[in-house]
């Protein structure tokens, strides 16, 4: 993977937004003074009249977007997920209750980078956003998937969208998506196949990369675990899921979020409600404490999300099979 | 003959007699405000709950804006004038005005706070409602988004948003005051329904707003103060503000919570009680009867004097028989 910035999720998002805005004059970008972190000033350069700098005033920004969408525009609202989805949650709920459509950029979603600490790491936004009935939440895996998801959100989706964006470059040797990769809302994507009964379901560049490292470690024990990238975090296609889970009986859900109310919780509720859990064991692997501050490796280890800890946990559940 | 056990409304056909009469607009506004006050009171009585105090304080401003300021346009015309209340607690007042304008039906009015009726706080699913409000502090932000969108799409029409005074304790208000000025969103008028009471106590005793005029001016806004129950004042100020283009505008409208029903008006209530008791909730049958009689008498006197006719009162329910509805504050 080249380290060209176009391969960053954030930069790719912005490039695609600029492209989509060309033919859709309704797209307006609002920013809470965090455009730098996603190269969103490139949008401003291209469309100065369609970029609103709203300063560090998330509640005001979100309600302003609400007023704009009531008048037929399509606002795209940017701030860090931890500020946007939490501080302005009531405003987001209020907008959603008007049945308009707004796209929220939940920037800096997840555990990493961890240097800024818990005020900035966003590990509860899925829970906050999923409690809004007409809100779809996505977490794209890489530069390619983010384009597909943004296209879906802007062109097809009727609901409000929260697009979680990981900050930072892609990981070294990160698995690629096929260039013909198609994003289908509610469906995942098999990143690594296995005929054995084990599967990891996860999303995002960090967790999928961790999953691949766990897969390598498990191989040494002659265990081959399947990896599913599931970027639609609160909307599931039952039939696709049924097919994927068909021959599996140990399912590990890896979630870059608090254990309560995150992807793993929503996923398990869905599985339960749709009777997809027969003869299967599901394990949630997620955060159960405030996200720690530190270097990526040490923080992952602290939360038992480093490859070795993940391996230990997963192996302990399958070694007696 | 008014029966003390009945709940009366003035129907749209009777309101039209006033609207179609060649009466000067100030007298017409006065009559309409009395009629809408009666309909608001009856609506809340029927519902069993609702915010009467704030509905009455905001009524005259709403009447003027909706009947005499707005240019006639279809409800979804992007060039329409937009008015909404940020506090939204005054929804019964808004509904009575929308009914008088023929935008919502009597059937709806009779179903305030009921399933498939009219929501306790405004919802865009109701015809004529421009924004979902009720949770305080969001209105100026929303309104500036509407103005921005109008300007961007080269659409006409002004945007007016009403706030409460207790509402000014919300932090988002000050975010929006800063950004509206900085973003040069000047075609926006904010009106503060300054009735001095929040919930059951004086605003100054809860959290004092101090010098509101200076406060708003320091945020870069053009500020005016008016009597929010004086139609001549209201008219004059809107004419003046239409000429001010270089700043967003804010009107501090001095009002009386519960205005129009003597025993509901806050100066009277606060002298008698230590708490204002008409913030939320419907009056009991006895109070309701006296309030209703007071308004009906005023309507009769005014109609006799100004349009030489008598408006029929529509009996919609018997107070004793109406279904029991919980009071929710």
Q: What is the DSSP string of A84-118?
A: HHHHTHHHHHHHHHTT---EEEEESBBS-S-SS-T
pLDDT band at A1 (very low <50, low <70, confident <90, very high): very low
Do the chains contact at A94 and B141, CB–CB below 8 Å? no
- B-chain residue closest to A60, CA distance: B141
> Do residues A73 and A107 share a domain?
yes
- The pLDDT score that the predictor gives to residue B149 is 98
In the numeric block, the tokens 């004097």 are attached to: B305
Question: Residue B32 to residues A10, A263, B14, B253, B326: CA-CA distances in angstroms?
Answer: 56, 55, 11, 19, 30
What average pLDDT does range A23-39 have in this prediction? 96
- Assess if residue B165 is contained within a domain: yes
- Residues of chain B contacting residue A65, judged by C-beta atoms under 8 Å apart: 145
- Residues of chain A contacting residue B135, judged by C-beta atoms under 8 Å apart: 90, 94
Question: Residue B207 to residues A60, B166, B170: CA-CA distances in angstroms?
Answer: 22, 8, 11
What average pLDDT does range A168-186 have in this prediction? 94
Give the CATH number of the domain where residue B112 resides.
Answer: 3.40.50.970
DSSP B160: E
- Assess if residue B230 is contained within a domain: yes
Is the Cβ of B294 closer than 8 Å to some Cβ of chain A? no
Mutant choice from B138, B178, B184, B185 vs A, greatest count of A C-beta within 10 A: B138
pLDDT greater than 60 at residue A2: no
Do the chains contact at A68 and B145, CB–CB below 8 Å? yes
What average pLDDT does range B257-286 have in this prediction? 95
pLDDT band at B322 (very low <50, low <70, confident <90, very high): low
Do the chains contact at B146 and A97, CB–CB below 8 Å? no
Instruction: Provide the percentage of residues in chain A whose pLDDT is more than 70.
Output: 99
- The pLDDT score that the predictor gives to residue B326 is 38
What average pLDDT does range A4-27 have in this prediction? 97
- Assess if residue B176 is contained within a domain: yes
| Number of separate domains in chain B | 1
For A63, the closest of B78, B138, B155 (CB atoms) is B138
Cβ neighbours of residue A121 under 8 Å, at least 6 residues apart? A82, A108, A110, A111, A112, A114, A291
- Assess if residue A75 is contained within a domain: yes
- The pLDDT score that the predictor gives to residue B324 is 43
**Helix or strand run (H / E) with residue B9:** strand B6-9
Contact between B162 and B188 under an 8 Å Cβ cutoff? The reply is no
| Number of separate domains in chain A | 2
User: pLDDT per residue over A208-240, tens digit each?
Assistant: 999 999 999 999 999 999 999 999 999 999 999
Rounded (5°) CA angle A300-A301-A302? 90
- Residues of chain B contacting residue A90, judged by C-beta atoms under 8 Å apart: 135
Phi, psi of A167 (to 5 degrees): -95, 145
User: How far away is chain A from the Cα of B112, in angstroms, using its nearest Cα?
Assistant: 19
Give the CATH number of the domain where residue A296 resides.
Answer: 3.40.50.920
> Do residues A223 and A85 share a domain?
no
For B149, the closest of A54, A73, A90 (CB atoms) is A73
Do the chains contact at B145 and A64, CB–CB below 8 Å? yes
Is the Cβ of B137 closer than 8 Å to some Cβ of chain A? yes
Q: Which residues of A touch B (CB under 8 A)?
A: 28, 49-50, 52, 54-55, 57, 59-73, 75, 90-91, 94, 97-99
> Do residues A69 and A205 share a domain?
no
**B69 lies in which domain range?**
6-318
pLDDT band at B122 (very low <50, low <70, confident <90, very high): very high
Q: Is A109 exposed, middle or buried (0-12, 13-18, 19+ CB in 10 A)?
A: buried
- The pLDDT score that the predictor gives to residue A299 is 98
What average pLDDT does range B129-156 have in this prediction? 98
- Assess if residue A183 is contained within a domain: no
Domain finish residue from A131, A165, A199: A165
ipTM, interface predicted TM-score of the complex: 0.96
Contact between A184 and A227 under an 8 Å Cβ cutoff? The reply is no
pLDDT greater than 70 at residue B329: no
- The pLDDT score that the predictor gives to residue A30 is 98
Do the chains contact at B78 and A72, CB–CB below 8 Å? yes
Do the chains contact at A94 and B132, CB–CB below 8 Å? yes
Do the chains contact at B145 and A65, CB–CB below 8 Å? yes
> What is the widest separation between alpha-carbon atoms in chain A?
62
> Do residues A142 and A215 share a domain?
no
> Do residues A133 and A239 share a domain?
no
- Chain B residues 70-99 with a CB less than 8 Å from chain A: 78
- The pLDDT score that the predictor gives to residue A100 is 98
> Do residues A160 and A196 share a domain?
no
Do the chains contact at A71 and B149, CB–CB below 8 Å? yes
User: pLDDT per residue over B50-105, tens digit each?
Assistant: 999 999 999 999 999 999 997 889 999 999 999 999 999 999 999 999 999 999 99
- Assess if residue B325 is contained within a domain: no
- Residues of chain B contacting residue A69, judged by C-beta atoms under 8 Å apart: 145
User: How far away is chain B from the Cα of A39, in angstroms, using its nearest Cα?
Assistant: 22
Token couple for A264: 């793993």
- Assess if residue A177 is contained within a domain: no
Handedness of CA A298, A302, A305, A311 (dihedral sign): positive
> Do residues A256 and A303 share a domain?
yes
Q: Is B132 exposed, middle or buried (0-12, 13-18, 19+ CB in 10 A)?
A: buried
- The pLDDT score that the predictor gives to residue B129 is 98
pLDDT greater than 80 at residue B306: yes
Nearest to A104 by CA among A132, A123, A142, A144: A132
Tally of CB atoms within 10 A around A110: 29
**A100 lies in which domain range?**
5-165
User: pLDDT per residue over B193-236, tens digit each?
Assistant: 999 999 999 999 999 999 999 999 999 999 999 999 999 999 99
pTM to 2 decimals?
0.97
- Assess if residue A175 is contained within a domain: no
Token couple for B3: 């029966």
Phi, psi of B186 (to 5 degrees): -85, -20
**Helix or strand run (H / E) with residue A180:** none
- Assess if residue B326 is contained within a domain: no
For B144, the closest of A49, A50, A67 (CB atoms) is A67
Handedness of CA A22, A26, A27, A32 (dihedral sign): positive
Cβ neighbours of residue A122 under 8 Å, at least 6 residues apart? A80, A81, A82, A85, A106, A108, A109, A110, A164
> Do residues A205 and A148 share a domain?
no
> Do residues A19 and A114 share a domain?
yes
DSSP 3-state assignment of B23? coil
Phi, psi of A317 (to 5 degrees): -85, -15
Rg (CA), chain A: 19
Do the chains contact at B179 and A67, CB–CB below 8 Å? no
Cβ neighbours of residue B108 under 8 Å, at least 6 residues apart? B95, B99, B117, B118, B126
pLDDT band at A202 (very low <50, low <70, confident <90, very high): very high
> Do residues A133 and A30 share a domain?
yes
pLDDT greater than 70 at residue B315: yes
> Do residues A147 and A225 share a domain?
no
β pairing state of B188-194 and B249-254: parallel
> Do residues A145 and A194 share a domain?
no
Dihedral over alpha carbons B271, B274, B276, B282 (to 10 degrees): -110
User: How far away is chain B from the Cα of A51, in angstroms, using its nearest Cα?
Assistant: 11
Distance CA A54, CA A58 (A): 8
């Amino acid at each position: 993977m080249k380290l060209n910035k176009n391969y960053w999720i954030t930069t790719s998002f912005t490039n695609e937004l600029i492209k989509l805005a060309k033919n859709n004059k309704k797209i307006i970008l609002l920013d809470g003074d965090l455009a730098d972190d996603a190269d969103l000033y490139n949008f401003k350069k291209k469309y100065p009249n369609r970029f609103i700098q709203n300063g560090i005033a998330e509640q005001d920004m979100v309600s302003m977007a609400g007023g704009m969408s009531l008048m037929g525009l399509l606002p795209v609202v940017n701030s860090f997920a931890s500020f946007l989805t939490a501080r302005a949650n009531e405003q987001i709920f209020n907008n959603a209750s008007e049945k308009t459509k707004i796209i929220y950029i939940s920037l800096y979603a997840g555990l990493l980078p961890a240097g800024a600490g818990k005020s900035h790491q966003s590990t509860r936004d899925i829970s906050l956003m999923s409690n809004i009935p007409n809100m779809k939440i996505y977490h794209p895996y890489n530069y390619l998937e983010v384009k597909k998801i943004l296209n879906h959100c802007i062109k097809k989706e009727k609901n409000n969208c929260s697009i979680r964006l990981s900050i930072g470059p892609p990981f070294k040797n990160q698995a690629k998506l096929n260039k013909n990769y198609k994003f289908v809302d509610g469906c995942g994507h098999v990143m690594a196949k296995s005929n054995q009964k084990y599967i990891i379901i996860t999303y995002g560049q960090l967790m999928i990369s961790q999953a691949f490292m766990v897969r390598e470690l498990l191989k040494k024990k002659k265990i081959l675990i399947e990896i599913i990238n599931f970027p639609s975090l609160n909307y599931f296609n039952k039939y696709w899921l049924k097919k994927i889970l068909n021959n599996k009986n140990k399912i590990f859900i890896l979630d870059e979020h608090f254990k309560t109310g995150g992807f793993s919780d929503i996923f398990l509720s869905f599985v339960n409600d749709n009777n997809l859990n027969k003869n299967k064991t599901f394990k949630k692997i997620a955060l159960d404490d405030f996200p720690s501050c530190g270097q990526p490796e040490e923080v992952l280890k602290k939360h038992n999300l480093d490859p070795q800890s993940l391996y230990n946990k997963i192996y302990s559940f399958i070694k007696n099979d | 003959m008014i029966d003390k056990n009945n709940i009366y409304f003035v129907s749209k056909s009777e309101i039209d007699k006033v609207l179609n009469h060649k009466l000067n607009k100030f007298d017409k506004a006065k009559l309409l405000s009395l009629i809408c006050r009666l309909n608001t009171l009856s609506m809340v009585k029927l519902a069993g709950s609702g915010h009467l105090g704030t509905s009455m304080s905001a009524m005259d401003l709403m009447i003027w804006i909706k009947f005499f300021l707005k240019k006639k346009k279809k409800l979804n015309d992007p060039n329409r004038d937009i008015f909404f209340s940020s506090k939204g607690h005054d929804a019964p007042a808004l509904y009575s005005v929308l009914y008088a304008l023929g935008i919502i039906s009597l059937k709806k009015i009779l179903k305030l706070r009921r399933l498939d009726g009219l929501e306790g706080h405004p919802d865009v699913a109701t015809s004529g409602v421009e924004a979902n409000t009720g949770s305080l502090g969001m209105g100026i932000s929303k309104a500036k988004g509407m103005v921005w969108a109008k300007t961007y799409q080269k659409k006409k029409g002004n945007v007016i948003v009403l706030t409460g005074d207790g509402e000014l304790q919300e932090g988002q208000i000050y975010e929006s005051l800063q950004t509206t000025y900085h973003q040069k969103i000047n075609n926006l008028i904010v009106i503060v329904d300054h009735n001095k009471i929040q919930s059951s106590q004086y605003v100054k005793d809860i959290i004092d707003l101090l010098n509101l005029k200076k406060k708003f001016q320091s945020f870069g806004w053009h500020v005016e103060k008016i009597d929010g129950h004086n139609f001549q004042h209201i008219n004059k100020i809107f004419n003046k503000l239409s000429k001010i283009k270089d700043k967003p505008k804010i009107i501090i409208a001095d009002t009386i919570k519960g205005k129009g029903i003597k025993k509901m008006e806050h100066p009277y209530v606060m002298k008698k009680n230590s708490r204002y008791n008409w913030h939320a909730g419907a009056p009991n049958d006895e109070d309701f009867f006296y309030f209703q009689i007071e308004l009906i008498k005023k309507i009769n006197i005014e109609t006799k004097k100004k349009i030489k006719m008598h408006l029929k009162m529509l009996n919609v329910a018997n107070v004793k028989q109406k279904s029991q509805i919980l009071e929710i504050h």
